[in-house]
Structure formats: C-alpha cells, structure tokens
C-alpha cells in the first residue's frame, strides 16, 4: 500500500512510518516541524534530541534498505498537500498533523487560535484532497477519548442509539471535552462525518487515550530512530512524566485528588491499532470509530505503580497532590467500551512493572539531559 503519514516527526508519526515501511509498504511522510519549533520556543525539548527527518530516513534506509519519502511543509497549505496527493496517490492517509497538547491550547488566545486553525484546516484539507484526487483513499484520523469527557453513563465506541418519544436514531456518542484542544478533536470528527455523509468518504477515527512508552520494535534497533519522549507539562503525557519525575527526584505531580480515570495505551499497541485499521478499511460512506485504549487507570494508580517500581530500583520517589490546574471532573464514573480493535486482532501490551522498569532505565541513561524547569510551568485552565 501507499501510506501517507501526516505529522511524521511526532511521537506517533515517526514510529508509524517505520512500522509500515518495515512491513513492505511505500511510506511518504509530511511534517512542518511544529513540535520541534514549539519545544524550542517553550523550552521543553524531549529527553533525547532526535535527528531531523531526512537524517532519520537515511539511517532507516541504511538499516533496512527501505526508503521513506519526506516532505517538509504545512498541510494547512492546501496546494502543497494536494500536490503530494497527486504525485503519490496514497491508499491510506494517516492524520497526526494536529496540535496535540491540551495545555498548549490553554496557554493563551493565540495558542488557542492556532490549535483551532491548524487542527480544523488540516482535516478539511485532507477531506478535499481525497475528494479531488483519490476518493478511494482511506482516511485514518487520530481522535481522542477526551472527546467523550467523563459522562455518567457507559461510553460506546463512537456511536449511540437514542430512543426519543417512541422513535429511535443512531447518533455520534454525546461528547463534551475538557480543553480547547480536545474540543477541536470533536469538531474534526463532526467535520469528517459530514463529508462521509456528503461525499461518501471512508474514514476511521481512532479515539486514543494517553499513550506511554518509547520502545517500538523498529525504534529499538538504533537509538537515533527512537521517537521523541516528552516529559514536560506541555507535550508529556502523565505516565511518561511520572517516570522522569521519579528519576530526577521531583515529586510525582498528581493533579487534584488523582481520582481522574482515563484509558491508557502502550505506544506499541497504538501502532498495531493504526496498522490493523489500515489493513481492514471500512467501506465507502462509512465513519468507523474505535476506542483506542487497552486498560483504564486513575492518576493515583499510575503514581502508585511508578512509586513501587521506582522504590524497588532504588529511587526515593515522593507522591504529591497539586491543586488541579485543569478544569476536569475528578470523581466520576468511567466505563468505556474498547473491544473493537481487539476483535480485529489487537493483542495488548499491558502496563506491567517491566514496562515501567524499561522506561526508568531509558530515562536514567539520559538523566543529564532532563530540564527540570519544564516539568511544572503552571499552565492553568482558569487563569
């Protein structure tokens, strides 16, 4: 297959390129280095600085003999994106080219506007490029479990049957996000659903929970091919942050009571889910939605896990509750369904002590590069 990965320099993007390439697919990647520039701007670079994309593709080709084509540019520029579609006619386009950080979207009006503009226009451009160049192309978009929020009812996989005054209808599951970033993901889903109905596009929307980990089968082969590992308040997800905090002796930063529950997933499983989705496309005129998580934890449970494994490894780990900088419900019911991807063949890699140990070792090796100032910078939802 010809696979176009948009946002190929990101946490998921580069591992996805290697994953498809290793399985013999032709891979083209696009990125505008937004995350690299922003990490520089906001003083929150990843623990290991990754070689640029051209260099990484050279290393990958040296290792495997497989080429990955790279374009540096912005997918909100429609003519740029369309020309790539015309040249490569992808069978699948994977959309990671969004501003992915909830705290970033809450920094100020400018960052909020950027998040809206970037996330919505990039999605709009894909819909147009697929319609105008190759309507057969399967769009895989990374959604987020945060679209649903934490409702007091079971969360279904995207769709919801409603009975009202004796009549029934199927709708997108009700959604209410708790950041501007998450709200743009709801808007993306709505937009794609509109074009699925109107133009008959075929779309898979993967509602992913916070991802953790760094090691993927391909990235493990050469440290220069590893993905970017953020632990800062802007781009770091909670488990990755806790592991770094344990190593540098920073108290684990539990926001509020720590009873917030989310669905989590190992980066290896994220790749497997995207791969399975690409290999089993939905039919035309269908928006297929999967909840891309493998288990649920409260923040307290994650902290306790890192505390226990960290202690065993000889770190003096402290757990601390901070005033919650976010506006989110802390005590809530949470029962999402996530069987669709497993039915398609996903075999989860669960969060074992060994997984946490492996991460601790990686962080320990790079301890000297950690910027403690980026751990808590004080982004508040209500400032």
213 near ligand USQ (CB under 6 A): no
Answer yes or no: are the C-beta atoms of 214 and 187 closer than 8 Å: no
Answer yes or no: are the C-beta atoms of 230 and 12 closer than 8 Å: no
**Among 299, 309, 355, 359, which residue sits at the site for ligand USQ (rule: CB under 6 A)?**
299
Distances (CA, A) of 370 to 35, 41, 64, 93, 363: 18, 17, 31, 35, 9
- Using CA atoms, how far apart are residues 6 and 93, in angstroms rounded to an integer? 7
Which residues sit opposite 205 in a β-bridge?
141, 289
Q: Which listed residue (111, 185, 268, 305) is catalytic?
A: 185
Q: Which listed residue (38, 115, 123, 144) is catalytic?
A: 144
Nearer to ligand USQ, 57 or 144 (CB): 144
Of 248, 234, 233, 211, nearest to 322 by C-alpha is 233
Nearer to ligand USQ, 263 or 281 (CB): 263
Answer yes or no: are the C-beta atoms of 33 and 51 closer than 8 Å: no
- Using CA atoms, how far apart are residues 157 and 292, in angstroms rounded to an integer? 9
Continuous segment of H or E residues that includes residue 206: strand 202-208
User: 73 phi and psi, to 5 degrees?
Assistant: 175, 180
Supply the minimum distance, in Å, between the C-beta of residue 200 and ligand USQ: 28
Structure tokens at 118: 């970037």
Q: Is 144 a catalytic residue?
A: yes
User: 183 phi and psi, to 5 degrees?
Assistant: -65, -35
Supply the minimum distance, in Å, between the C-beta of residue 237 and ligand USQ: 4
Q: Which listed residue (11, 71, 181, 315) is catalytic?
A: 181
**Among 47, 140, 238, 243, which residue sits at the site for ligand USQ (rule: CB under 6 A)?**
238
| Region 248-267 residues binding ligand USQ, contact defined as CB under 6 A | 253-255, 260, 262
**Among 15, 29, 90, 209, which residue sits at the site for ligand USQ (rule: CB under 6 A)?**
209
- Say whether 246 sits in a helix, a strand or coil: helix
Q: Mask: binding to ligand USQ, 88-127, rule CB under 6 A, as x and -? A: ------------xxx-------------------------
Of 206, 210, 252, nearest to 235 by C-alpha is 210
Nearer to ligand USQ, 39 or 68 (CB): 39
**Among 7, 29, 46, 146, which residue sits at the site for ligand USQ (rule: CB under 6 A)?**
146
38 near ligand USQ (CB under 6 A): no
- Using CA atoms, how far apart are residues 358 and 15, in angstroms rounded to an integer? 18
Nearer to ligand USQ, 27 or 299 (CB): 299
237 near ligand USQ (CB under 6 A): yes
Of 173, 203, 178, 176, nearest to 191 by C-alpha is 203
Supply the minimum distance, in Å, between the C-beta of residue 131 and ligand USQ: 26
Nearer to ligand USQ, 71 or 264 (CB): 264
141 near ligand USQ (CB under 6 A): no
Tokens 């009202």 label which residue?
164
Catalytic sites, residue numbers: 144, 181, 185
Q: Which residues bind ligand USQ (CB under 6 A)?
A: 100-102, 144-146, 182, 208-210, 237-238, 241, 253-255, 260, 262, 299, 326, 328
């Amino acid at each position: 297959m010809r696979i176009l990965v948009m946002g190929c320099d990101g946490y998921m993007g580069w591992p996805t390129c290697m994953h498809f390439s290793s399985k013999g697919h032709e891979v083209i990647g696009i990125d505008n280095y937004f995350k690299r520039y922003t990490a520089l701007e906001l003083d929150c670079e990843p623990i290991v600085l990754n070689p640029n994309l051209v260099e990484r593709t050279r290393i990958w080709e040296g290792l495997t003999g497989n080429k990955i084509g790279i374009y540096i540019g912005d997918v909100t520029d429609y003519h740029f994106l369309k020309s790539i579609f015309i040249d490569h006619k992808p069978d699948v386009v994977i959309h990671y080219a969004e501003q992915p950080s909830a705290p970033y979207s809450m920094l100020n009006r400018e960052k909020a506007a950027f998040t809206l503009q970037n996330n919505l226009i990039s999605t709009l451009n894909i819909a147009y490029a697929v319609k105008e160049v190759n309507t057969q192309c399967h769009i895989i978009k990374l959604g987020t479990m945060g679209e649903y929020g934490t409702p007091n009812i079971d969360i279904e996989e995207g769709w919801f049957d409603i009975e009202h005054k004796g009549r029934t209808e199927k709708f997108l599951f009700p959604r209410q996000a708790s950041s501007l970033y998450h709200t743009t993901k709801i808007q993306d889903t709505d937009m794609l659903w509109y074009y699925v109905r109107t133009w008959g596009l075929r779309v898979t929307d993967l509602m992913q929970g916070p991802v953790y980990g760094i090691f993927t089968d391909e990235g493990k082969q050469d440290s220069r091919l590893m993905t970017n590992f953020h632990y800062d308040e802007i781009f770091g997800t909670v488990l990755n942050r806790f592991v770094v905090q344990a190593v540098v002796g920073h108290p684990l930063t539990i926001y509020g009571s720590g009873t917030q529950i989310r669905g989590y997933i190992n980066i290896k499983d994220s790749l497997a889910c995207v791969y399975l989705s690409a290999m089993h496309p939905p039919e035309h005129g269908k928006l297929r939605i999967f909840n891309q998580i493998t288990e649920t934890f409260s923040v307290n449970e994650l902290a306790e896990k890192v505390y226990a494994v960290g202690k065993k490894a000889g770190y003096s780990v402290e757990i601390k509750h901070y005033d919650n900088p976010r506006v989110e419900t802390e005590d809530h019911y949470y029962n999402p369904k996530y069987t669709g991807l497993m039915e398609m063949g996903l075999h989860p890699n669960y969060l074992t002590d060994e997984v946490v140990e492996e991460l601790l070792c990686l962080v320990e090796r790079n301890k000297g590069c950690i910027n403690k100032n980026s751990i808590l910078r004080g982004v508040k939802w209500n400032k």
